[in-house]
Chain A
């Protein structure tokens, strides 16, 4: 009777041990066997408490192209009505004579009509509303090249909102003389770009990827022309702060593109937004 009881206790202990051993073995083998695959890296990101929505794995095509801020806006300026405008370098800065009222829900619809009107906005047909880049004080329209958005302050319309949510004016930059520099080539998928950004240690633990977009951004300036290439732009939100840092990954080779002349860093905000 007593011996049977001891056997029973032993059996229970061993079964528990088996389960433990099996779990430990399983976990370690899963972790190591796919160490090179991106799925495992995504898994690791989860462990680092980085939150993101499932990245796409499709590859696209994109171009290298060049363009600059030329005289197109200055030439169109005399035809623009209902506003007082001036130029700040190549940038057109304008104030509406009559502020536009926009309600929260209809910002896009109202401004789409304004942007489409060649009597108010020059070259408006080339711009699209960008929900992600817009904020509570600024509505941003980005220029489109080759059916892809350009995330650069060199090709943007920024509508300023006042405290009563009225559009009081805008500033605009326009990329012209666009020339593709090379035939279309395949880009990497969002998943590859995200895992590389992580592997370059550009995403701190606990951060959140708010959104990820394929967009053209500026790589360099040469011979008076800005050279753009397709990039994956990631909005990284760090837990402790409310601000969003934009990071961009070269969509051809996966390198993180650094911004700035002397003090290079991976924060692309100054390249994409105009910081005031």
Chain B
């Protein structure tokens, strides 16, 4: 009897409470205030997010060694060799690792020349956790530095990590990894150039005993405006206006807070400093993660841009434009992008307004480059001491086309590293 009398006021109370709760939620949440006035989101040309962490941190150089011991530098023709190989060797797990040799340059060189392998190299040492992220695998071995990784066609259970520094070779035992995936990797779609590893004054050098024929490329020059970057990175501090100072050769942007940007009109480069950007840690992976996030934040088009090198001494990472699997030099005096971590909360980034997006038919389809021996001879004749040469590398020279406006020609040539600077060999032998 009592319950029957109570159900009506009871449920009425509940209904009132629910309505109070719901209207309270609607009032307090500003997101729900304008239900019908949603406007279309307009997209400004933001192409940067297409390139993933994995894409930008691909190995810089790929060398295959056949079962008969012939070594070849791999470049792209129809597929991007580096992404193709990376995708084929992802998803393995590993727990065991042992050092097989250390400090012996001869044994190290022999490992580099092992038959039936593919060697993927970075220009600077990377770490195991970085490798894990860049190649999407489950490798659980003590974190250590290495700059090359070697996969075996004939021994699918092992992977070698090599470090030029200290000539260290580490053998990793793999689980659930299918070599068949690699074996039928599109080796016939890759372009091979005969090369071989050599010891050159104690350093590992990839040299070619014969001249090399490489594709030439031509691209339409895409130039991002300074305003685009100014809008993206300089308008975050809402409390103050951005101060713009125009000089003869440059324009400075300052937000009276944490960010400063300077655009050099002569070289079409941007110098951007951010004093309020917290790095999560100082490990190699965390630094590279931070660098990648900042590149995306600034909105630099990254389609053809890849990681080139990292100098732990100066905390500087360099990214270059890559065509056909080889790096482009001379885009600016630092590459495509250079990022220097100043301290835990600030960094300085230099980048070029120019980028290469649309390929054009080249004037010539290929060019022949002289052998390493000839190169070294020419350098010697020009009076350059061999001991000064740190490395030589094949790369592309960036030059503006004289007849076709907004076209960039990329022709292959030798680059020589002397005093931590990459220079075109022609400028060294006085041909320019």
The reply to whether B32 and A29 contact each other, CB–CB distance below 8 Å, is yes
The reply to whether A64 and B359 contact each other, CB–CB distance below 8 Å, is yes
Interface residues of B in 345-392 (CB under 8 A from A): 357-361, 363, 365
Q: How far is the CB of B39 from chain A (nearest CB, A)?
A: 10
Report if B38 contacts A (CB, 8 A). Answer: yes
Report if A114 contacts B (CB, 8 A). Answer: no
Q: How far is the CB of A28 from chain B (nearest CB, A)?
A: 4
18 pairs, A vs B, C-beta closer than 8 Å: A7-B12, A8-B8, A14-B12, A14-B18, A15-B15, A21-B23, A28-B32, A32-B32, A35-B41, A41-B41, A44-B40, A183-B77, A184-B78, A199-B41, A223-B363, A225-B361, A227-B358, A253-B45
* In the complex, chain A residues whose CB is within 8 Å of the CB of B407: 222
Q: How far is the CB of A274 from chain B (nearest CB, A)?
A: 24
Q: What bracket does the count of chain B residues touching chain A fall in? A: 35 or more
Contact with B along A5-26 (1 / 0, CB 8 A): 0011011001101100110110
* In the complex, chain B residues whose CB is within 8 Å of the CB of A18: 15, 18-19, 22
Interface residues of B in 394-432 (CB under 8 A from A): 404, 407
The reply to whether A11 and B12 contact each other, CB–CB distance below 8 Å, is yes
**Among A27, A64, A182, A223, residue most surrounded by chain B Cβ atoms (within 10 Å):** A182
Report if A107 contacts B (CB, 8 A). Answer: no
Q: What bracket does the count of chain A residues touching chain B fall in? A: 35 or more
Q: Which of B19, B42, B323 is the one whose CB lies under 8 Å from A199? A: B42
- Measured between alpha carbons, how far is A32 from B32 in the docked complex, in Å? 8
Q: How far is the CB of B283 from chain A (nearest CB, A)?
A: 30
Report if B31 contacts A (CB, 8 A). Answer: yes
Mark B residues whose CB is within 8 Å of A.
Answer: 8-9, 11-12, 15-16, 18-19, 22-23, 25-26, 31-32, 35, 38, 40-43, 45, 47, 50, 76-80, 217-218, 220, 303, 323-324, 357-361, 363, 365, 404, 407
Report if A196 contacts B (CB, 8 A). Answer: yes
Mark A residues whose CB is within 8 Å of B.
Answer: 4, 7-8, 10-11, 14-15, 17-18, 21-22, 24-25, 27-29, 31-32, 35, 41, 44, 63-64, 66, 179-185, 188, 196, 198-201, 219-220, 222-223, 225, 227, 229, 252-255
A222-B404 contact given A21-B26, A25-B22, CB 8 Å threshold = yes
Q: How far is the CB of B360 from chain A (nearest CB, A)?
A: 5
The reply to whether A14 and B360 contact each other, CB–CB distance below 8 Å, is no
The reply to whether A7 and B361 contact each other, CB–CB distance below 8 Å, is no
The reply to whether B19 and A14 contact each other, CB–CB distance below 8 Å, is yes
Q: How far is the CB of B12 from chain A (nearest CB, A)?
A: 5
The reply to whether A183 and B79 contact each other, CB–CB distance below 8 Å, is yes
- Measured between alpha carbons, how far is A182 from B323 in the docked complex, in Å? 8
A21-B22 contact given A27-B35, A28-B35, A184-B80, CB 8 Å threshold = yes
Q: Which of B35, B45, B361 is the one whose CB lies under 8 Å from A181? A: B361
The reply to whether A199 and B220 contact each other, CB–CB distance below 8 Å, is no
**Nearest CB in chain A to that of B45: its residue:** A255
**Nearest CB in chain A to that of B304: its residue:** A182
Q: How far is the CB of A48 from chain B (nearest CB, A)?
A: 9
The reply to whether A21 and B361 contact each other, CB–CB distance below 8 Å, is no
- Measured between alpha carbons, how far is A31 from B79 in the docked complex, in Å? 41
